[in-house]
Amino acid sequence: MTKAELIAKIAENAKLTKAQAESALAVFECAVTAELINDGKITLPGFGTFSSVSKEARTGRNPKTGEPIEIAAKRVGKFTAGKNLKDLNACTVCCKK
């Protein structure tokens, strides 16, 4: 599913215009990003949890040359699937067809 398809689905199911659905999705993306930048986490019960994790500096390899390169330490976003995503057959929310 593309972002445009997701926006269309949100608009249809929530009875919003596509512009309103796109705005809602943008606000969600910004809220998640802002919370992760501040070392917070967002939990959506049954769906999953967004959190940030620190990655230590490490040595990697250039895939073209095989030459070792240093990869700097950084923080990255992480998503842990909730119960409904882990077992799609057991999903009890309205998204089932």
Q: What is the residue-level pLDDT of the chain in tens, covering all 97 positions?
A: 999 999 999 999 999 999 999 999 999 999 999 999 999 999 999 899 999 999 999 999 999 999 999 999 999 999 999 988 888 776 666 665 5
Do the domain assignments include residue 19? Answer: yes
pLDDT of residue 58: 96
Report how many domains make up the chain: 1
Do the domain assignments include residue 71? Answer: no
Do the domain assignments include residue 46? Answer: no
The shares of helix, strand and coil residues in the chain, as percent rounded to the nearest 5, are: 40, 30, 30
pLDDT of residue 87: 83
pLDDT of residue 7: 96
Instruction: Identify the domain containing residue 16 by its residue range.
Output: 1-38
pLDDT of residue 96: 52
Do the domain assignments include residue 8? Answer: yes
